[in-house]
Amino acid sequence: TAAFLGARAAARVMGDGGRLIFTGSVLGERPGRGLSAYSASKAGLVGLAKGLALDLAPAGITVNVVAPGWFDSPLADGWKNNPKRSASILGHTALNRWGDARDLAGAYQFLASDASAFITGAVLNYGDDGINYNFGELLPGSISGRVIKSLGPDCDFEAPQAFLQNI
């Protein structure tokens, strides 16, 4: 709900050619055992982004998802601090290391730039080589989908009514 409401609010004030970029997870498209709730929330975010990409395309607004794999973050501490699990994860990661927030900056910069003006409804799986992970237990906490918006200069923009009125 938060991602939808945030996207709706942003679209109402974006100028023509705006960008919505959600943060998802590779687990949204490739769930892991014991991570059903988290994976489902991220899969829902992907579906929302693809639907919004269609709804907002007439207004020139693109909608995409950056889906990180295994990144160094508080959510990953339980895995990272367990030598056996950490080794297993790194063994299935092409670059054999944990991703760093700096590794993501280019993806967001690209999707927010004019260079991606013809890309919408895409999911950029980032830092993962496509292997499914089965760890059996979910750590407490969650990372919700976030809308990163780029507001255009025309704040009087009215996005397509079907999207704005659909709750």
The torsion angle over the Cα atoms of residues 112, 19, 70 and 129, rounded to 10 degrees, is: -80
Catalytic entry in 38, 108, 126, 133: 38
The torsion angle over the Cα atoms of residues 22, 26, 27 and 32, rounded to 10 degrees, is: -170
Q: Is the dihedral of CA 132, 140, 28, 20 positive or negative?
A: negative
3-state secondary structure of 134: strand
Establish whether 126 is a catalytic residue. no
Burial of residue 89 (CB within 10 Å: 0-12, 13-18, 19+) is buried
Separation between Cα atoms, residue 111 and residue 63, nearest integer Å:
9
Task: Please give the positions annotated as active site.
Answer: 38
